[in-house]
Amino acid sequence: MSKKTEPNFFIIGAAKAATTSLSSLLAMHSQAAIVQGKEPHFFSHDHNYKRGWNEYLKLFRNCRDAVAVGDASTSYSRIRYHPFVIQRIQEHVPRAKIIYMVRHPLKRMESAYVEHICTPGGQMFASINDALRKQPMVVDSSRYWEVFDAYRQKFDESKIKVVWFEEYTADTTGVFQDVCRFLEIDDSVIPDLECERTNSRQDAPSRLSKIGRAGVQVNTAWDELTRQWVIDQIRDDNSRFLAHFNRPRDYWGDLF
């Protein structure tokens, strides 16, 4: 009986920080593969985890012969809502490599709000301000130091790769090749950006139309009270994160 293919790296989020783009480019690499469905949420969602390890591994049947085998589930960074996720990953894949993608925290929240209203069955919000007041998880997903620090308690820091959205979008090929080096696969590959998959805000009207929400307005204009309320929550966390990676305090503008 042949040995089942197992994952050896995880793209854990943050949501709306180009995880779809990176995973799609890695899936085209001859030495890499991404789990069927991209986001199985096995380690985070209890009902999936209860199905068992062997059921999870069936999702990797398309990944045979790959050197780097990945699961790209953004819920793995929502550690406040899935408190056992890191422990579970460590238990099953103790030598895993972790890729954590981060983005300007407020712009990431705006994109997450758009994703919510463009998803079938997703909650409707009047604006970005309404979304953040009603859905604290959107704010919590920008607590980058909290997530990074929790993962480095269980995985050696050398096994964690932070990918900065702004640098990835400015030089996708260069950052992609850097990720390939991290995953120990051929880093001379030039990714086919024409076939890259993304979830773009520009697609929002057509996506809304397809799910019966044509005419719904996408309102990403912040009111000052909400903006400051959010910044006050994430300031210390993000400042510590930036400092740890030798990024200037104004890396994301004048937020902090």
Decide if domain 9-244 falls under CATH 3.40.50.300: yes
- Helices 172-183 and 19-27 cross at an angle (nearest 10°) of 70
Task: Calculate helix-pair angle for 144-152, 224-244, nearest 10 degrees.
Answer: 30
The mean-pLDDT minimum among 61-65, 94-98, 245-249 falls in 61-65
Domain range list for the chain: 9-244
Instruction: Identify the CA nearest to 223 among candidates 131, 103, 112, 138.
Output: 131
Residue 146: CB partners within 8 Å, gap ≥ 6?
79, 237
Residues 217/123, Cβ–Cβ less than 8 Å: no
Mean pLDDT of 131-153: 97
Hey, CA dihedral for 136, 141, 143, 147, is it positive or negative?
A: positive
Query: In the chain, how long is the greatest CA-to-CA distance?
Result: 62
Q: What is the mean pLDDT of the chain?
A: 94
What is this structure's pTM? 0.95
φ, ψ of residue 156 to 5 degrees: the values are -55, 140
Strand, coil or helix: 195: helix
- Residues 16-47 pLDDT 10s: 999 999 999 999 999 999 998 889 999 999 99
Residues in the chain: 256
